[in-house]
Amino acid sequence: MRQQSSPGTAHEPLTAGVTPPSVLDLNAYLMYATGKAARRRLTDALTAHGLRLWHLTIMAMLDDAGRLSKGELASRLDMNQSDLTRTVTDLDAAGYVDCARDPSDRRRIEVALTPAGRRALARLNTDVSATEADLLAPLTHEERDRFSSLLRRVHTHLERERSGNGLAATAAERG
């Protein structure tokens, strides 16, 4: 544990942009700061394509799950319905998704990735991979794999907690 300074003790001045050592001991801060830097870099990569993170996320979800209703998309992504509608409208205008009324329930709008959306997603994934590689450059391949595994475990834990299923952790989560 780091020894605390006595009141009135002169501290060595910090250089601008250098995080104080005691803050580096706060994992929550490190996750926040690293996440903020990652988001900024990802935003730059997506902006070059005229897109945002939610565009990429919705396209990836549709690629994984297939056709989904707007309500199901919003629920699965924990996204505000009006934000989802606005984002889907952008993707539809770009030709990346197709929106159609559900024939069995005309109130439901179903969204599906188009062939153009699949091609765009492939290009985006290439740019995202390059951005990730740059962000994780200090880590070895094995460290990147371990880091990804740990992030997934934390994410799974938080996702279960959000959905109300957080009581029973799996052996894989603990190990």
What average pLDDT is seen over the chain?
86
Residue 163 pLDDT exceeds 80: no
Domain range for 112 is 25-165
Give me the percent of the chain exceeding a pLDDT of 90: 71
Residue 9 pLDDT exceeds 90: no
Q: What is d(CA 145, CA 168) in angstroms, rounded to the nearest whole number?
A: 25
- Give the mean model confidence (pLDDT) for residues 153-170: 73
Considering the domain boundaries, does residue 175 fall inside one? no
Backbone angles phi, psi at 150, to 5 degrees: -65, -40
- The 10s digit of each residue's pLDDT in 46-57 is 999 999 999 999
Residue 19 pLDDT exceeds 60: yes
- Strand, coil or helix: what is 113? strand
Considering the domain boundaries, does residue 82 fall inside one? yes
- Strand, coil or helix: what is 39? helix
- Cβ atoms of 98 and 110 closer than 8 Å: no
Residue 17 pLDDT exceeds 80: no
Residue 137 pLDDT exceeds 70: yes
Q: What pLDDT does residue 162 have?
A: 76
Q: What pLDDT does residue 173 have?
A: 45
Q: What is d(CA 108, CA 101) in angstroms, rounded to the nearest whole number?
A: 6
- Encoded tokens for 148: 């990804």
Top-confidence residue, 15 or 169: 15
Considering the domain boundaries, does residue 157 fall inside one? yes
Considering the domain boundaries, does residue 41 fall inside one? yes
Give me the percent of the chain exceeding a pLDDT of 70: 84
- The 10s digit of each residue's pLDDT in 84-113 is 999 999 999 999 999 999 888 888 999 999
State the DSSP H helix or E strand holding residue 114, giving kind and residue range, or none if neither: none
Please provide the size of the chain in residues. Answer: 175
Q: What pLDDT does residue 45 have?
A: 93
Residue 16 pLDDT exceeds 70: no
Considering the domain boundaries, does residue 74 fall inside one? yes
Q: Where are the alpha helices (DSSP H) in the chain?
A: 21-24, 27-47, 53-65, 70-77, 81-93, 115-135, 141-163, 171-174
Considering the domain boundaries, does residue 117 fall inside one? yes
Amino acid making up residue 119: R
| Greatest pairwise CA separation for the chain in angstroms | 74
- Give the mean model confidence (pLDDT) for residues 14-27: 79
> Rounded to the nearest 10 degrees, how much is the dihedral formed by the CA atoms of 135, 136, 137, 141?
-150
Q: How many structural domains comprise the chain?
A: 1
CATH code for position 139:
1.10.10.10
End-to-end CA distance of the chain: 26
- Cβ atoms of 17 and 33 closer than 8 Å: no
Q: What is d(CA 132, CA 53) in angstroms, rounded to the nearest whole number?
A: 14
- Quickly list DSSP for 5-33: PPTTPPPPPPPTTPPPHHHHT-HHHHHHH
Considering the domain boundaries, does residue 17 fall inside one? no
Considering the domain boundaries, does residue 42 fall inside one? yes
Q: Flag the least confident range among 72-86, 94-108, 124-138, 160-174.
A: 160-174
